[in-house]
Amino acid sequence: MPRGEPDLPVPDGREPDGSRRTALLALVVIVVLVAGGLFLWGALSHMAAIQDCVASGRTNCAPIATPPSRP
């Protein structure tokens, strides 16, 4: 990496656009990672509950979808 001057603020007090885009991109990545982690946590806890049910010897652990009966 070339060693140069650090990014200095623009004289009118505004930050350069590149730093704002980088921060926004980092925020989006963090939000996506947190959402993915929450989804995995929910799916894994559901599967763990079903495994605990089966391990305890019960047979009605997971509901089975059946088509509605016709009259």
Q: Give the whole-angstrom CA distance, residue 24 versus residue 22.
A: 5
Q: Where are the domains of the chain?
A: 21-52
Among candidate residues 24, 21, 19, 23, the one with its CA nearest the CA of residue 6: 19
The model carries a pTM of 0.57
Contacts of 2 by beta carbon, 8 Å cutoff, 6+ apart: none
CA distances from 55 to 21, 42, 45, 46 (A): 50, 20, 15, 14
Helix, strand, coil fractions of the chain, as percent rounded to 5: 55, 0, 45
> Could you read off the pLDDT of 40-55 as tens digits, one per residue?
999 999 999 999 999 9
Q: Is the pLDDT of residue 8 over 90?
A: no
Mean pLDDT of 59-63: 83
